Amino acid sequence: MDTDLTIGANRPIADHLRADADYVFYELTRSICPDCRRVIDAKILLRDNKVYMSKRCPQCGPFVSLVYGNAEAYVSFARYNKPGTIPLAHGTSVDRGCPHDCGLCPDHEQHACLGIIEVNSACDMDCPLCFADAGPGFSLTLEEVEQVLDDYVRTEGRPEVVQFSGGEPTIHPQIIDFIQAAKARDIRFVMLNTNGKRIARDDRFLEKLSEARPALYFQFDGFERETYRIIRGEPDILGEKLRALDRLAQIGLDVTIVPAIERGVNEHEIGRIVEFAIGHPAIRGITFQPAFHAGRYMAHDPLRRMTIPDIVQLIEVQTAGKFVASDFVPVPCCFPTCNSVTYAFVEGDAVTPLPRILNVNDYLDYITNRIVPDFSHEVRTALEGLWSSSSVAGSVKSLQQVATSCQACELPDGLAIHAIAKSMIMIMLQDFMDPWTFNQKNLMKCCKEFLLPGGRQIPFCAYNTVGYREQARRQLNAMEPERRRARREGRPYEPRPIEFEFAGGRSK
């Protein structure tokens, strides 16, 4: 026996020193290096009931980041993974592999529930936190936007949702024309993303919005000066936001407020945001977004980032149980840990989340519910519409889906009609990936796509992390002199497609 390998009574040294890891290796995936953006392997690890991503770039070294604040939920939510829907047409072929063939390519596992068109890069704010890195650059023409919308119709038939974004899209001189162009193509829901400044100040623009009737996706991070100083660089902007919301209420437009939640900045305001939304006549929904660190962002610790379970827990604590963790159900059309949502009926001080009167989990459990003998296809279809990235708070479609769902619950018909018409609120939590948390598995089921001239549809988290945004921005900026000449000469602008090239060749 080799004494160098034994200890005591011929016991191997390896046995004496061996110890278990302090984590569970859950799965292997592909990610990118946060520094050089090369595609690399990544491990998903479970430790202390949290989910981490660990990866090593051969050039830049190791990286570890927090992915999800509840490992038990992360594992159990697999049952909400709904089969994907195939688009009517694809924009690219499979060539270099995910994530460098986005378009959508045939390997993508979901269609576009929601399309985003960035109509400009300019903004009337300079937020320290801005995934679009807004600034002077391009401003799309009506011809470009109409081509993008036509391509969206070609791939989706009748698209569910389009959002006009930027920059700040309300400062684009043709934004009302864009909204009308989308409505003319029978897109079900047309949304306008905004910081609210022009709405608060411009009476004529408010009149045009009243005529065009988009839904509003409204930046709203809290109430404290310090919150807006840190996140938006404007500590005194709250009054302007409140004025804009009140003016939207006066013309009867539906608003979803969108708080970006950054750890150490405004997580203590979450409950107050919920209470405010419940009481404001214009607000039909909230979409909480844990801050993700792409584009322009503040210094952060990737091991302490906010995640969906963190915000759910804070909602429960700060609303004194009006909403609890079990009220929130994963959205099945994308990867289930990317979104969670709930709906609630509000009657005075009483708030009744829909999952408390209807077992949503049974209907949206895609692994086990096939054996439930009394399963209602009609109710399941309605709930799939509600628990979808294409659901728009306050829309007629969402009200109809709630009404169908209530056929299976104990809510009295009279109360249901009143609650649906007057007193329903949606709370969604949307977590986007950044270069530290990028997971190819999640990306392949992304249903929120940036729509570009030339027909490309780029999944949100690929566009903002892999290098698509930077390439598209350069090309769109370079086209701006020709756009200006066309406008000056009063002639149509001929749209040009956006092309992408990554290390190893062009993405076609």
Res 408 pLDDT > 50: no
Q: Which of 81-85, 427-431, 470-474, 504-508 has the lowest mean pLDDT?
A: 504-508
pLDDT band per the 50, 70, 90 thresholds, residue 378: low
Return the pLDDT at 377: 62
Tokens at 48, concatenated: 């202390």
Checking if the pLDDT of 475 tops 60, the result is yes
Residues 301, 311 contacting (CB under 8 angstroms) = no
Band (pLDDT 50/70/90 cuts) for residue 21 is very high
The predicted pLDDT at position 18 comes to 86
- CA-closest candidate to residue 290, choices 480, 103, 127, 433: 433
Cα–Cα distance between 225 and 238 in angstroms, integer?
8
CA distance 399 to 418: 11
Residue 375 CB neighbour total at 10 angstroms: 12
Task: Tell me the average pLDDT across 153-176.
Answer: 97
Give the number of residues written for the chain: 508
**104 prior amide bond cis, ω within 30:** yes
Tell me the pLDDT tens digit for each residue of 74-113: 999 999 999 999 999 999 999 999 999 999 999 999 999 9
For the CA atoms of 311, 313, 319, 324, the dihedral, rounded to the nearest 10 degrees, stands at 120
**pLDDT score recorded for residue 375:** 43
What are the residues whose beta carbons fall under 8 Å from the beta carbon of 489, sequence distance 6 or more? Answer: none
More confident residue, 417 or 293: 293
> Residues near 488 by Cβ (< 8 Å), separated by ≥ 6?
none
pLDDT at site 11: 55
The answer, yes or no, to whether residue 404 has pLDDT greater than 60, is: no
Listed range (375-384, 437-446, 459-468) with the worst mean pLDDT: 375-384
Phi, psi (degrees; rounded to nearest 5) at 284: -110, -10
Alpha-carbon distance of 405 to 400, in angstroms, equals 9
Q: Would you state the pLDDT for residue 399?
A: 57
Distance between CA 135 and CA 213 in Å, rounded? 28
Sign for the CA dihedral angle at 348, 351, 356, 362 comes to positive
Mean pLDDT of the chain: 90
Residue 396: the pLDDT is 55
pTM as predicted: 0.90
Structure-token match 């993303």, residue found? 193
Q: What is the pLDDT of residue 50?
A: 98
Q: How far apart are CA 226 and CA 448, in angstroms?
A: 31
Integer CA distances (angstroms), 196 to 183, 430, 477, in order? 22, 21, 25
Measuring CA to CA, how many Å separate 314 from each of 273, 288, 361? 11, 12, 22
Q: Which residue has the higher pLDDT, 37 or 8?
A: 37
Going by pLDDT thresholds of 50, 70 and 90, the confidence category of residue 477 is very high
Nearest-angstrom CA–CA distance, 340 and 360: 12
**pLDDT for 363:** 80
Place of tokens 């419940």: 278
Residue 405: pLDDT band with limits 50, 70, 90: low
Burial of 7 (0-12, 13-18, 19+ CB in 10 A): middle
Residue 114 identity? L
Instruction: Give residue-wise pLDDT tens across range 22-56.
Output: 999 999 999 999 999 999 999 999 999 999 999 99
Nearest 10 degrees: Cα torsion 232, 233, 237, 241:
-10
Percent of the chain with pLDDT over 90: 79
- pLDDT at residue 244, as a whole number: 98
SS3 assignment for 18-68: CCCCCCEEEEEEEEECCCCCCEEEEEEEEECCEEEEEEEECCCEEEEEEEE
Contacts of 434 (CB under 8 A, 6+ apart): 34, 292, 293, 294, 297, 461, 464, 465
Provide the token pair at 106. Answer: 């045939």
Q: What is the DSSP pairing of strand 255-258 with strand 283-290?
A: parallel
Rounded CA separation 200/195 (Å): 10
Q: What gap in Å lies between CA 220 and CA 233, rounded to an integer? A: 13
User: Cβ of 154: how many Cβ atoms within 10 Å?
Assistant: 14
In the chain, the largest separation of any two C-alpha atoms, in whole Å, equals 94
Q: How far apart are CA 385 and CA 189, in angstroms?
A: 13
Alpha-carbon span 179 to 184, nearest angstrom = 9
Q: What is the pLDDT of residue 381?
A: 76
DSSP string, 257-326: EE-EE-TTTTGGGHHHHHHHHHH-TTEEEEEEEE---SSB-----TTS---HHHHHHHHHHHTTTSS-GG
* Tokens 């509600």 sit on residue: 386
Alpha carbon 264 to chain centroid, angstroms: 22
> For residue 307, what pLDDT is reported?
98
Structure tokens at 474: 């350069």
- pLDDT tens per residue across span 221-230: 999 999 999 9
Predicted pLDDT of residue 15: 61
SS3 193: strand
Structure tokens at 461: 């988290």
Residue-wise pLDDT for 294-351, tens only, equals 999 988 999 999 999 999 999 999 999 999 999 999 999 899 999 999 999 998 889 9
> Residue 284's pLDDT is what?
93
User: In this structure, are residues 167 and 123 in contact, taking their beta carbons and an 8 Å threshold?
Assistant: yes
Q: What is the pLDDT of residue 164?
A: 98
